[in-house]
Amino acid sequence: MKNIKYIIILSIGLLVFGSCEDNVLNLEDPGSPTDATFFRTEAQLEVALTGIYEQINYVNAVPFPQLLDHTTDYAFNRGNVGGTIVATTGGLTSTESLVNGFWNNFYTGVQRANNLLTNMDKAADASDPNRFEQIKAEALFLRSLFYSYLTELYGDVPFRTEVTSLEELEIVARTPKAEIVASIISDLQEAAAILPPTQPATERGRASANAANALISRIALYNEDYELAESAALKVMNSPDTPSLYPDYEGLFTDAGVGSSEVLFDLSYINGTKTHGLSQRQGSRFGGWCQLVPAQQTVDSYETINGLPIDEDPEYDPANPFENRDPRLAATIALPNRVWTGHIIQQHSDSIATWRIEDGVKVERVFNPNSANPAGRTIVDPYDGTEYVTGGANRFTAFSGYFWKKFSDAPRLLGSLSGGPSPLQSEQTIYLIRYAEVLLNYAEAKIEAGSIDGSVLNALNSVRERAYANSAVPFPAVSTTDQAELRKIVRRERKVEFADEGLRLFDIKRWRIAEKVLNTTLLGGPANGFSKIGDLGFVPNIDDDGHIDYTGAPTQPRVELGNLDYRELEERTFDAGKHYLWPIPQAEIDATEKVVTQNPGY
Amino acid sequence: MKQAIVCFLFTVFGFSQISAQITVSGTVNDEQGVPIPGVNIVEKGTTNGIVADFDGNFSIEVAEDATLVFSSIGYGTIEKSVNNQTTINATMSEEASLLDEVVVVGYGTQKAVNLTGSVETVKADEIAKQPVAQASQALAGLVPGLTATQSSGQPGADGAAIRIRGVGTLGNGAKNNPLILVDGIPDDINGLDPSDIESISVLKDASASAIYGSRAANGVILITTKRGKEGKISTTYNTYVGIQSVAQNLKFMDALGYMEAFNSAEPGAFSEETLNQYRSGNGVGTEALPDTDWVDLLFSSAAIQQYHSLSIRGGSEKLKTASSISFTDQEGNIANFDFQRYNGRFNIDYALSKKLDVAFDLNFRREVKSQPARLQNLTRSAYRLQPLFIAFNDDGTYGSGFGGSNPIALANSSAKDETISNYFRALAKVTYRPFNNFSVSATYAPQFFDRDRDDFRAGYTYYEGSGGPAITTVGGGVGESSLFKETFTTFQDNFNAVANWGKEFGDHNVSVLGGYEFLKFNSEIWTASRRGFVLDEFRGLDNGLPDTQLNSGSSTLNGLESLFGRFNYSYKDKYLLEANVRKDASSRFAKGYRSATFPSFSLGWVVSEENFLKDSETLNFLKFRASWGQLGNQFIFSANQTDNNGDTVQGADGSAVAQEVNFPYTSLFGLGNANAVIGGTPVVGGAQTVLANSQLQWETGETQNIGVDAKFLNSRLSFTGEYYVRKTKDILLGVTIPTSVGLDAPVQNAGEVWNTGYDISIGWNDMIGEDFRYGINLNYSGFDNEIKDLGGLDQLPPGNTINKVGEEIGAIYGLKVEGLYQESDFDTDGNLNSALPSPGFGAIQAGDIKYADISGPDGIPDGAITNDDRTIIGSNITTENWGLELFSAYKGLDLSISLLGAGGRDVVLEGDAGWAFYNAGKIQEWQGDYWTPDNTNAEYPRLTPGSSHSNWRVNETWMHDASYVRLRNVTLGYKLPRDFTDKFNIANARIYLSGQNLATWDNMPDGIDPLTPQFSTGSFYPVTKVFTMGLNVTF
């Protein structure tokens, strides 16, 4: 049977080839460790810690604080960047990407923190004990920060503090907000005890004791624990490394202010790691898309130099609305006829051309893509007689007549016009917590607690003083000690000091004024130009909550030509019965089979 | 053969002849003009005969009025009358006789009559006659149960997505891709030169494909390439040249129509004065009164397509070769879109001894696909820009478009996004036959592929009006000029060894096959980029600013090891039995969950072999067959692959390339996937992103198939019908975990989907007289798709589509529409009548869409329109497909027409493709029937400009029935007469005219192709029609 011999030889041959299991089946991912092999050294803990920092830097086209501000009365989100229009027009539902985005990103951050905090003990022996403790404190700080946003946006949320696996997957119901707040404040206090008061420049962006205490004061204020808000703020104010207010308010929000001691916690960007598109989205047509633009209501919120709302100051001149105003107006918002991003900003239909400015000197007449022209009109530039034919592109410009300067990275906008990097990849640093907030937290906490004293006025006035630091005008000091009057002032102060910084949504909610200020028609400036704004001559009424009432104002939807009325940008809707909280994402409710319940009204 | 010659020689000399004899000589060729050696030529009615020589030449002495009968194994027998001619050339068709037809099956071949599983074949000439660059396109409409859907006309991305018996599983669409093997090794159908294809077998049921186990759940396509045959060396040159144009494209209103409609959205936006200027017609289309047809301007290039293929095939007993080289070039209708392919193949067969054969194959190709910018910046821009923006100034220079964004200038700019693919595959196969009836073969095939992308974004210059200032944009409107390079490299290592034994024992026929296989796949990707190129014309990475350099990279791998076997038994070729089994082990699963066994069984009964039917004149063949088997699916995909720009990586069929997950069973901690900036410097961060499932296993597919094959009336009429139930169980499905866990959900084995359907094909082939041949083939397939289980859940979290138990996969999920709100629905203050459900998606007014309140949080209508009112409104699955092919030939002329059709799918159009004035966009002609106070009975809601509106929720208004009938191909060919070709030593020459996608009949809005991608927002390249003229010559 020689055939059998062959079969045996061939079978052996197959078996030789057949023993490839190690080569073919027992494979490991060449790029990634598994949780069984990770968290073993200090360097590995640092990698995991950095992964948590990445998550607090949530960018949805623009950084998340700016996205939140565009769900408030500050501004119009013309391009529906980040999908906020549903939030301002009453269409918020449990499946909106806006609702899911914040939830998913912050819970991802929570998970990363839990993963590190649960597993880091494995590296205890292989780490420097001091650094080991600090890593833990930084992780606690970040987890608290995630939960502070989650509780403010959604109310009671599932409170997860442990890492989980599929085998031990737990369905976690909602924990009352107060319990979560108590827990994260205790975590923050623990972190503040471990962390240095400030971080050196080489570690900018890391949590510090001052940042932790500032965050405690914020959370306490949001939750009406005025005593804690005051004491935590005081810890920052009396810190061995006391922060100071940066002397130039406008410069603070440019590269000049980055790294200043006023900034207690910031979000940094470098191309290749992470960038944001705020510059492009907020920028004027000179480089940007002007999709996120401040409303008339915001412009009218700034006081006059006499420290009065515009409707209370007889010196306010509606024909020259931008004169004699709190310097923060012009520092925060690019105003008509003023220079910004190297050009005179003009949006009325006669300004088919404008000036390019270098070092304060008019150097060149340029086509002005900001003018509000329809197609097919021939317009003669009154300056040099050049004839321009409008292309129709320009009906879709800022609408409101204003642009945000804050964080808009003007050098990049201007540079992009001449071949520089795109404003879609801005590296402008964004601030999450700064010292001015601590001062105003302190003042507000004491005002609300009724313990008004000189320190309250000092805190308020130091913020106001800095606002006027670069103007020739003396700042209007606050001297009243009347609680109601001070409450009005501190609320007004927060609105203008922190415009476009992501605090407003939580302020109007805790002050319970959202149904007033968000149930309005959002307005832009007159369509046909500020050169004739005096003809409008309208002064709105501002009430005790800072709500601005335009009853009787001439308004119209945006139209082609010759219209001096305020532009109606958006009909806003806010239902106090439900909109004080965002809905819990439907996916969470479905996945927990309704163990996680929905907020009322959704 | 020797015996036959002896026999014929004997007969020639054994009989004396009576009538007048003449000597007739000639050559026997196949249809390609290649001589056929060894053909038997017999004088009809006598035993006088001869055998043609090696070059197909013969010479025979016969009676003047004799008829010659030509026959040879593998060719249809033909007859020729002598009629005093002394030269008779014969062309024999490779029409294998019924009993001898051999079909390629897994790891071998099988006689068609003995098949018990569901196998369909496509012949080489069915593919070769269609002038397409991507072979997948040629499969459309040919095979019942196989759909090949071409949804893009972009050169290099216009291949078809292939599905066999529908969509069978949940998750990323790529999980439904069939396994495609070229000469037994996994490969890409679209890389092939269609002229190299010898045959295609489509294995549809579990019985046929179970031998491929865990990769075969979606069916298997086996492609065999042409090999050298013993005989004269023949040289073939195939060429065609064609011109393409877009089959249908979005039609927008002109400037006047746009402005009039816009005034309906925003009264007074355009003044009467402006409108009157346009109405007068004077100067319309100039800078003063722009009227730009962006779509027409963008798709304005004459897209020439050409193809050249040269092949030499032939050989001796010891050495046979087939060598071919080809070049394909396809331009786009948008300027600077281009696709080129160079392909070479060398298949060599050595017969080293009677017991030992060796095959060496080499195949290489290079593909170059280029475009000036991504579709989003071109087609979507053209679909958005208003006619009032200027593409060209009056002096011919580029205009400013939308604030400097001018897609026409961009398409014609020096920006270039080029992807070059290089592919190389070697295959060595040794076959050893130590004794009769037994053979063992081993195949080793390493395969290398790389894809290099070189994306340079440069600007263009436009002018603010004639003579106006020149403005140079940078980087195609996205910033500075930049170069982005990406290299993706894969290596596939494939080995298999197969032993075959077969024997006849009287009426019993038994064969056994056993084999071993391993497959290992590595891939690596890395990218590098720089920005800020000072000199745009020099495009090396080094020329960009050094401080802008970025790079990234990762690699992964997976492996599969298998044992398999097949047993065939037949009794008198009448009762057939087949069993297959494969045991696969995959590196994708944890030890202990790694391997699985996939069996299949099938039975056949050839009724026509039974005595009571054997002599039937009308019924020539009848077979019943039934099969059952299990298959697996080991593929897990996360999101689709994206490049550094965040764009989805596109395959040759235009669809997204899915990212495989190779280590789903372990908690991987990614490094560099969560970097942050600390202290102003980038710091490497890492994070786990997916929850692991250590108990993951295979998806199992289970198919039951019954079929009948029949031939009637001298086999002129053929029929095949099949009914199947295809169940996919243990579907690898994302577990629904609370989102508060903060990790992506792992996959788990849950879920079950059934496809129940039937495939039918009917063919009629006949001759009228000696010269007119004609035929008609019709195939039809239909199926029902139903989700049976979702791991205990009633439905998965819905988006625009929903997976719900009892419903189809991915059903369109949206709001039902009751009509439009009318002014009578509001009181004088503009408040909605309180009896009507309150709208939940923002403020509404008359003319807006009135959604139906069909549900609430508790499942009953709650008086409010919310997300709870969403329901299934349409289907995302094409459940009915048919193809019709007609052909006829008269003497040298041949004509074929193919049509295909599909039904069951709906398409939702969104964004620029669906909504008028969306995000500063324009308005299509079909959108013209919008609501106004004077047109309250309109089909579409009132016009609203903006980026978000409650009318733009997913709802029935924007959904369209995507059923269609398409005239896929018409080809008219002419074979040059022999007298003519002989003069030039040409064996065969045919010229033809062909048209593809010539007409489509459908219910879509005017200008929108029914194959437009689902939820399309306008970034697509419409399907093209092609007119081609071609030539095939064989020497």
Q: Residues A448-469: what's their mean pLDDT?
A: 96
**Tens of pLDDT, residues A299-330:** 999 999 999 999 999 999 888 889 999 999 99
Structure tokens at A271: 């191309």
* CB nearest to A160's CB, from B266, B532, B740: B740
Query: What's the pLDDT tens digit per position in B779-826?
Result: 999 999 999 998 888 888 788 899 999 999 999 999 999 999 999 999
Contacts A420 to B, Cβ<8 Å:
479-480
Give how far Cα B136 sits from Cα of A49, B165, B278, B1031, Å. Answer: 49, 16, 48, 22
Q: What's the pLDDT band for A461 if we cut at 50, 70, 90?
A: very high
Which two structure tokens, joined as six digits, stand for B603? 């039975």
Phi and psi at A410, nearest 5°, equal -55, -40
Q: How far apart are CA A432 and CA B712, in angstroms?
A: 82
Residue A551, SS3 per DSSP: coil
Say how far apart CA B808 and CA B787 lie, in whole Å.
Answer: 6
Which residue(s) pair with B600 in the sheet?
Answer: B580, B629
Q: Does A4 touch chain B (CB under 8 A)?
A: no
DSSP states of A37-63: T-S-SHHHHHHHHHHHHHHHS-EESEE
What is the predicted pLDDT for the residue at A124?
94
User: Is residue B571 helix, strand or coil?
Assistant: strand
pLDDT given at position A559: 46
Average pLDDT over all residues of chain A = 88
A166 with B465: Cβ contact below 8 A = no
CA A552 to chain CA mean position, Å: 33
Q: Which residue of B has its CA nearest to A202?
A: B679
Sign of the dihedral through C-alpha A264, A269, A273, A278: positive
Q: What is the mean pLDDT of residues B572-581?
A: 92
Residue A502: CA count within 13 A, CB half-sphere: 20
Q: Is the pLDDT of residue B900 over 80?
A: yes
Phi, psi of B573 (to 5 degrees): 55, 25
| Mean pLDDT of all residues in A214-232 | 97
pLDDT of residue A11: 57
Helix (H, G, I), strand (E, B) or coil at A12: helix
Distance (Å, whole) CA B751 – CA B730: 6
CA angle A239, A243, A247 (to 5 degrees): 155
Contact by Cβ (8 Å): B944, B849: no
Degrees (nearest 5) of the Cα angle B451, B223, B33? 110
Report the interhelical angle of A483-497 vs A454-467 (nearest 10°): 30
| Mean of per-residue pLDDT scores for chain B | 87
Are A422 and B480 inside 8 Å of each other by CB? yes
Structure-token pair, residue B840: 């939940």
The answer on pLDDT for A79 being more than 70 is yes
Which pTM does this prediction carry?
0.81
- pLDDT value, residue A557: 57
> Confidence band (pLDDT; 50, 70, 90) for B341?
very high
| Least confident range of A367-376, B762-771, B861-870 | A367-376
Per DSSP, B790 falls in state B
Specify the residue for token string 């006391």: A242
pLDDT at A3: 57
Percent of chain A at pLDDT > 70 equals 87
How far apart (Å, rounded) are the C-alpha atoms in residues B974 and B890? 9
Chain B CB within 8 Å of residue A176 CB: no
Dihedral sign from CA coordinates of B10, B12, B13, B18 = positive
Residue A18 has what pLDDT?
52
Q: What angle do CA A308, A314, A318 make, to 5 degrees?
A: 95
Q: What share of chain B has pLDDT > 90, as a percent?
A: 46
A496, A302 contact by CB (below 8 A): yes
Q: Backbone phi, then psi, for B881, in 5-degree steps?
A: -140, 140
φ, ψ for residue B951 (rounded to 5)? Answer: -65, -20
Q: Nearest Cβ partner of A425 from B479, B677, B691?
A: B479
Show residues of chain A in contact with B468, CB under 8 Å. Answer: 367, 388
Angle between helices A42-56 and A129-154 (to 10 degrees): 20
Q: Does A361 touch chain B (CB under 8 A)?
A: no
In this predicted model, what pLDDT tens digit does every residue of A9-19 receive, in sequence order? 555 555 555 55
Chain segment B284-310, per-residue pLDDT in tens: 888 888 899 999 999 998 899 999 999
Compute CA distances A314 → A326, A550, B688, whole Å. 15, 18, 61
To the nearest whole Å, the CA of A507 is away from the closest chain B CA by: 24
Residue A59 to residue A413: CA distance in whole angstroms: 19
pLDDT in tens, B515-553: 999 999 999 989 898 888 878 788 889 888 888 888 888
* Residue B872 DSSP SS3: strand
Count contacts between A and B (CB, < 8 Å).
341
Partner residue facing B842 (CB), from A86, A103, A388:
A86
pLDDT above 60: residue A294: yes
Least confident range from A454-463, B56-65, B564-573: namely B56-65
Chain B residues within 8 A of A591 when measuring between CB atoms: 736-739, 797
How would residue B606 be classed by pLDDT, with cut points 50, 70 and 90?
very high
Task: Tell me the one-letter amino acid at A365.
Answer: R
Q: Which residue has the higher pLDDT, B468 or A145?
A: A145
Taking CB atoms within 8 Å and a gap of at least 24, the contacts of B936-943 are: B936/B820, B936/B822, B936/B823, B938/B820, B938/B847, B940/B916, B941/B820, B941/B847, B941/B848, B941/B849, B942/B264, B942/B265, B942/B820, B942/B845, B942/B846, B942/B847, B942/B848, B943/B261, B943/B262, B943/B264, B943/B265, B943/B916, B943/B917
Per-residue pLDDT of A368-405, as tens digits, reads 765 545 555 566 666 677 766 555 444 446 678 899 99
Structure confidence at residue A350 as a pLDDT band (50, 70, 90):
low
Which tokens hold the place of A240? 């061995």
Spell out where B44-127 has E strands. Answer: 49-51, 57-63, 67-72, 75-81, 90-92, 102-105, 108-111, 119-123
* pLDDT confidence of residue B576: 93
Mutate to test the interface with B, among A6, A12, A14 (most CBs of B within 10 A): A14
Least confident interval from A94-98, A447-451, B818-822:
A94-98
pLDDT in tens, B987-1034: 889 999 999 999 999 999 999 999 888 888 778 899 999 999 999 998
pLDDT (average), residues B684-708: 88
Could you tell me which chain B residue has the CA closest to the CA of A44? B686
* pLDDT greater than 80 at residue B578: yes
Confidence band of B27 (pLDDT split at 50, 70, 90): confident
Min Cα distance B679 → chain A (Å) is: 4
Tell me the mean pLDDT in the region A143-149: 98
- Give the nearest chain A residue to B561 (CA atoms): A24
Enter the ipTM: 0.91
Asked if A31's CB is within 8 angstroms of B556's CB, the reply is yes
Residues of A in contact with B434 (CB under 8 A): 3, 6
Residue A110 contacts B, CB cutoff 8 Å: yes
Contact A573 B842 (CB under 8 A): yes
Cα nearest neighbour of A108 on chain B: B742
For B402, which of A48, A103, A393 is closest by C-beta distance? A393
Q: Which residues contact B453 (CB under 8 A, 6 or more apart)?
A: B417, B418, B419, B420, B484, B485, B486, B487, B643
Contacts of A285 in chain B (CB under 8 A): 403
At B360, the pLDDT band (50, 70, 90 cuts) reads very high
Select the more confidently predicted residue: B872 or B380. Answer: B872
Interchain pair B738, A172: CB under 8 A: yes
Question: CA–CA separation, B903 vs B964, rounded Å?
Answer: 7
Strands B90-92 and B21-30: parallel
For residue B594, pLDDT beyond 60: yes
> A38 and chain B: CB distance < 8 Å anywhere?
yes
Burial of A561 (0-12, 13-18, 19+ CB in 10 A): middle
Q: What pLDDT sits at residue B309? A: 95
Contact B867 A89 (CB under 8 A): no
pLDDT tens string B64-93: 888 888 888 777 788 888 888 888 888 887
Three-point CA angle B388, B389, B390, nearest 5°:
115
In Å, how far are B123, B567, B1016 from B163, measured between CA atoms?
A: 19, 28, 21
For residue B12, pLDDT over 90 is answered with: no
Q: pLDDT of A481-537, one tens digit each? A: 999 999 999 999 999 999 999 999 999 999 999 999 999 999 888 755 545 555 567
pLDDT at A246: 97
What is the average pLDDT across B49-54?
A: 83
